[in-house]
Amino acid sequence: MDNPGLQAGEAGNYNATNEPYTSRDGKWKDSYDPEPNAVSQMDLVDDGDENKERGNWSNKADYILSCIGYAVGLGNVWRFPYLAFENGGGAFLIPYIVMLVFAGLPIFLLETSLGQFASQGPIRIWRCLPLFQGIGYTQVIASALVGIYYNCIIAYTLFYLFSSFTSDLPWRTCDNTWNTGDCVDTNSLKNWTGNISDRVSPSEEYWDRYMLSRSAGIGEPVTVKWQLALCLLLAWIVVYFSLIKGIKSSGKVVYFTATFPYVVLLILLIRGVTLEGALEGIKFFIVPKWSQIANAKVWKDAAAQIFFSLSAAWGGLLTLASYNKFKNNTIHDALIVALTNCATSVFAGFVIFSILGHMALKLNLTVPEVAKSGFGLAFVAYPEALTLLPVSPLWAIIFFLMLFTLGLDSQFTIVETVATAICDGWPTLLRQKKWLVMLTISVCCYLLAMPCLTHAGIYHVVLIDSYAGTYPLIIVAIMECIGISYLYGLRRFCKDIAMMAGYQPNYYWQANWAFITPALLTFVLIFSFVFHEDVSYGDYTYPLWAVTLGNLILVFCAIWIPGVAIFWLIVTPGSFWERLRKVTSPTDTWGPHLPQHRDERYANMANPSAGIGAKYTPNDGTKL
C-alpha cells in the first residue's frame, strides 16, 4: 500500500531556491556527486567483485557463514536453554516457532532485502524514506554501545580460557586465597548439613571474588583489573586484524569461528549424553508443561528471544547484505540462517542440560537447583559441572574456546556495522582508509570500556545491556515494518525484491510486514513496559542515579528517530505538507547501486555515492 498522500515519486526535485538539481547531462542528482573513480580499490575489492566501489563477498558461503555467526551468539548457549526450561520445557517450542514464523523471519528478510537492493549501510539505506533516517542512527549508536561491553564478555571467556591451561582447574576446590568460609566444594557437599540455597560453590567465588573482584556496588571507588584489561586488549586485536580488510578478511575468518562452535557442541553432546544422570537433565529441558502455553509472559519471552537471537533491527543484517551481489535470493538466505539459528538453540539446550543433569546427580541436587542463565550458566554452573569430568581442564579449554568464537562472530558484525555507516557517510575520504576507521573504532571502544573492567565492571555491563539493546531495537523493528509497508509502499518493495530474486514475496511475507509482525512486536513492547522491572544483578539493586543513567542511555539511542525526522521537516523547503510529502518519498539517489541493475522505474536515478552532507531530493516523478 503506497503513501495515500503521494503516489510514488510525484514530487519534483527542488533545492532551496525551488530549482531542480541537475547534472551536466540533465539528469536528477544529489547536490554532492563524487567522481566515480575517486575511491582507491586497495584490498577491499577484487576483480571478481560486481560493485567495484564497495566490494562484494568473495562467495555466497562467506555471507551465509557471516550471517549465521552474527545470529548464533552467546545467547543461544546461555539464554535459550534456561528460557525453555523455565517456560514450559518442550511446550516453549510452540510459541518460539510461532514467533519465528511471524516476527523473526519477516524482519530478517526485510532488512537483508533493503541492504542488498541499494548496497548501502544502515544510515544511507533510508534514502528510500528520509523521514525514517533516524532509525539508521539508532541502529549504529546501539551497535556501538553494545560493541563496547560485548567485547568485555569475550574478554571474560579469554580469562577463563587461559586459566584452564592447568592440571587442576582453579575453581574446583575451596583451598584458594580468594575463597571464604562459606565456600563448599563438591567433595565437602556430602557432609554439609546447611540449606542448599545458602551454599556458595568454588566456581561462584572464582567468578565473583577472583575474576571480577566484584565490589559491593556500582558507585564504589574502584580500579581497573589489569588482567581483564589485557584480555580485552587481546580481544580487540583479534577483532581488528580480522576486520582490517573489511568483509574480505572477516569473510575468511568466519570459516573457523562460525563452524568451530558446532564441532565443540557435538563433542560436548556426545560426552554429555554418556554421563550418568544426563537423561534426567534432558527431561527437564524437553518434557512439555502445557499449562504454560496460556501464560502471556511465555509468549513475550519467546518473541523477545527469537527477535534478539536473530540479531534483527541492529543494522548488522542490513550491513552484511549490502555487500551481496545484486542478483541474490534473499528469501532463501533468510530461511537458511533463521532455521540454523533456531536449531542451534535447541541443540545447545541438549548439550547444556545433559551436563547439568550429571552435575545434579553428583551433587545430590535437583536439576532446577543447578540450572542458571546468562553469566551464571557460562561462568558458574557449567564450569563447576566441567570439574566433575575426567581430564576437566581439557573440557574447560574446549568450552571457553567455543564461547570465545561464538562471541567473536557477533562482534565482527557489530563493528562492521559501525564502520560501514561511517565509510558510507564519507566515501571519498574514508572508504580507501577503512583500516584506519577500524583502528579508530577499536581504540575508542577499548578506552570507553575501562569502567567495565573495574571491580564494579559487571554492574556497568549489565546496565548497558539492559537499556541499550532492548526497547530501542523493538521500536526500530516496528517502525521498519510500518515505514516500508505504508510509506515506501509494500507493492513497490515487493517489486524491488523481484528485481533481485526473480519473483515477488508471497502473501505470507506481505501480511507479516503490514500487520502481523508490527502487532506482535507492539505486544512485546507494551508487555515489557507494563511489567518493567528496574535493572538488577543478583541480589544487588541499582541505585536511582544508575537507573536514571540507564534510562538516559535508552533515550540517547531512541531520540534520533524523532530528532532526525524533525530535522528533515525543518530543512526541507516548501509548506508543511510539501515538506512532509518530500521526506516520505525516495530521494533521487535511491535505487540499485549499479546502472545495469536498474529498470525503468530507476532509469533517472542519480549517482548513489553521495555521502553525508548531501541534500536529499525526491525522485523525478517516475511512477513506481
Within 10 Å of residue 336's Cβ, how many Cβ atoms? 13
Within 10 Å of residue 614's Cβ, how many Cβ atoms? 22
User: Is 406 labelled a binding residue?
Assistant: yes
User: Is 242 labelled a binding residue?
Assistant: no
d(CA 611, CA 33): 9
The type of residue at 2 is D
User: Is 604 labelled a binding residue?
Assistant: no
User: Is 409 labelled a binding residue?
Assistant: yes
- Residues 607 and 34 sit within 8 Å (Cβ to Cβ): yes
d(CA 606, CA 31): 10
User: Is 189 labelled a binding residue?
Assistant: no
- Residue whose C-alpha is closest to residue 2's, from 492, 603, 525, 592: 492
549-561: string of b/e by CB count within 10 Å (b at 16+)? bbeebbebbbbbb
User: Is 483 labelled a binding residue?
Assistant: no
d(CA 246, CA 420): 9
The separation between CA 472 and the C-alpha centre of its own chain, rounded to angstroms, equals: 13
Contacts of residue 301, Cβ cutoff 8 Å, sequence gap at least 6: 83, 87
The type of residue at 488 is Y
User: Is 309 labelled a binding residue?
Assistant: yes
The type of residue at 89 is G
Cell of 151: 567485547
The type of residue at 455 is H
d(CA 188, CA 363): 10
d(CA 366, CA 196): 11
User: Is 410 labelled a binding residue?
Assistant: yes
Which residues participate in the annotated binding site? 69, 71-72, 76, 309, 341, 406, 409-410
Which residues participate in the annotated binding site for Na(+)? 69, 71-72, 76, 309, 341, 406, 409-410
